[in-house]
């Protein structure tokens, strides 16, 4: 049972928020399969045109579903990170996973000559695997430098150091191999354009596993919200549970980054949006943040395809602009009230 008491009216708010997010998901899914370089024509013609059906079923639909799943993974990871570090500015990339994934992709391009623009399934699997392995290894390096998960502040600082060092190494690799810079852009700026059904399956499995595990450990995050001493007094075995939460954070972040590249601010903004609407326990917050992140990234992906169609914007740039603007507004509002985030 959660150690945090939540008023009954907040439960109703959480229910209606979840309902609204699910309805938004359905509406955005319809828009997602309608928006593309060929406009709405493919959707209208797919009943009698095999090519139009192929465009909708093999390009637009998996891309839209993939954006939802990647956003859900980042929203879940953001909620876990903010609860684990007890810091509202914590994001899924805090343990160096983004820099590790970037280095992994850059190394794969140099060693194997693959590119995010490659269509061969082996090349895509190579880049996806390199990004995931790089993200996980960076988290393991952070844990090694922090000497485990016992000290949250040390873990936080180790993640910052690992992120800076691996980012510098990636920059050096790009400097020595300028021919891969253009190919790296699609990964660094974030894109759902390469997501297919295989990637959706991988992200779906990772999301279900992370959601179940995070929900089972949500009482730990509720306890940590009351203070570490309170959590220990409730009989929680914090070192083991922290290690499990870090594993969830690494898996969720690595699975999303490996498929879509670096997409900023979704994991940071989604939990903030939920908390601004409803006050609830971490069990519900994780689920609602996952839905919010999914809706945010799906909407951003549709905007990225629609704003300058038939060309498209990198979705990571769009989320950075929108998410950064939201957080600046949030900071300004709370500064005016004399309170923190």
DSSP secondary structure, 124-149, as one string: HHHHHHHHHHHHHHHHHHHHHHHTSS
The pLDDT, as a whole number, for residue 87 is 81
The pLDDT, as a whole number, for residue 338 is 52
3-class state of residue 236 by DSSP: coil
The total of structural domains in the chain comes to 1
Q: Give me the average pLDDT of each 10-residue run along the chain (341 residues).
A: 60 89 94 69 55 75 94 95 85 88 87 56 63 88 82 84 92 88 82 86 94 92 74 69 88 89 88 89 93 94 83 84 77 61 53
Residue 21 counted as domain residue: no
Which ranges constitute the DSSP H helices of 177-227? 181-189, 197-216, 218-225
Residue 298 counted as domain residue: yes
Residue 276 counted as domain residue: yes
Q: Can you give the CATH number for the domain in which 55 is found?
A: 1.10.3470.10
Residue 166 counted as domain residue: yes
The pLDDT, as a whole number, for residue 235 is 64
Residues 167, 171, 172, 178: what is their CA dihedral angle, to the nearest 10 degrees? Answer: 150
The pLDDT, as a whole number, for residue 24 is 95
Name the nearest CA neighbour of 329 among 266, 262, 263, 272.
272
The pLDDT, as a whole number, for residue 36 is 63
Residue 9 counted as domain residue: no
DSSP secondary structure, 64-93, as one string: HHHHHHHHHHHHHHHHHHHHHHT-TT--TT
The pLDDT, as a whole number, for residue 335 is 63
In 3-state terms the chain splits into helix, strand, coil percentages (rounded to 5) of 75, 0, 25
Domain coverage including residue 196: 28-336
Element (H, E) at 44: helix 41-45
Cα distance between residue 278 and residue 11, in whole Å: 8
Tokens of 72: 């859900």
The pLDDT, as a whole number, for residue 311 is 77
The pLDDT, as a whole number, for residue 6 is 59
The pLDDT, as a whole number, for residue 271 is 92
Cα distance between residue 203 and residue 294, in whole Å: 12
Residue 1 counted as domain residue: no
Cα distance between residue 265 and residue 30, in whole Å: 25
The pLDDT, as a whole number, for residue 224 is 78
């Amino acid at each position: 049972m959660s150690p945090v008491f939540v008023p009954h009216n907040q439960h109703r708010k959480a229910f209606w928020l979840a309902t609204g997010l699910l309805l938004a998901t359905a509406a955005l899914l319809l828009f997602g399969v309608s928006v593309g370089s060929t406009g709405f024509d493919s959707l209208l013609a797919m009943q009698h045109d095999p090519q139009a059906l192929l465009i909708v079923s093999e390009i637009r639909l998996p891309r839209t579903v993939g954006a939802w799943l990647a956003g859900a993974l980042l929203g879940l990871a953001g909620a876990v990170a903010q609860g684990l570090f007890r810091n509202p500015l914590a994001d899924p990339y805090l343990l160096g996973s983004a820099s590790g994934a970037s280095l992994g992709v850059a190394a794969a391009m140099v060693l194997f000559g693959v590119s995010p623009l490659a269509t061969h399934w082996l090349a895509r699997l190579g880049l996806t695997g390199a990004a995931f392995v790089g993200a996980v290894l960076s988290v393991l390096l952070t844990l090694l430098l922090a000497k485990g998960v016992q000290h949250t502040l040390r873990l936080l600082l180790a993640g910052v150091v690992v992120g800076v060092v691996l980012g510098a190494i990636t920059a050096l690799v790009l400097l020595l191999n300028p021919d891969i810079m253009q190919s790296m852009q699609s990964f660094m700026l974030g894109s759902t354009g390469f997501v297919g059904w295989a990637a959706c399956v991988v992200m779906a499995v990772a999301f279900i596993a992370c959601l179940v595990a995070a929900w089972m450990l949500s009482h730990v995050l509720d306890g940590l919200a009351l203070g570490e001493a309170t959590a220990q007094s409730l009989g929680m075995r914090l070192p083991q549970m922290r290690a499990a939460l870090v594993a969830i954070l690494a898996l969720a972040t690595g699975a999303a980054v490996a498929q879509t590249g670096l997409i900023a601010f979704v994991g940071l903004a989604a939990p903030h949006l939920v908390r601004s609407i409803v006050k609830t326990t971490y069990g519900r917050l994780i689920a609602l943040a996952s839905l919010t992140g999914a809706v945010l990234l799906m909407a951003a992906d549709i905007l990225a395809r629609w704003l300058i169609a038939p060309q498209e914007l990198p979705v990571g740039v769009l989320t950075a602009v929108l998410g950064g603007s939201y957080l600046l507004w949030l900071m300004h509002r709370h500064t005016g009230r004399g309170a923190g985030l």
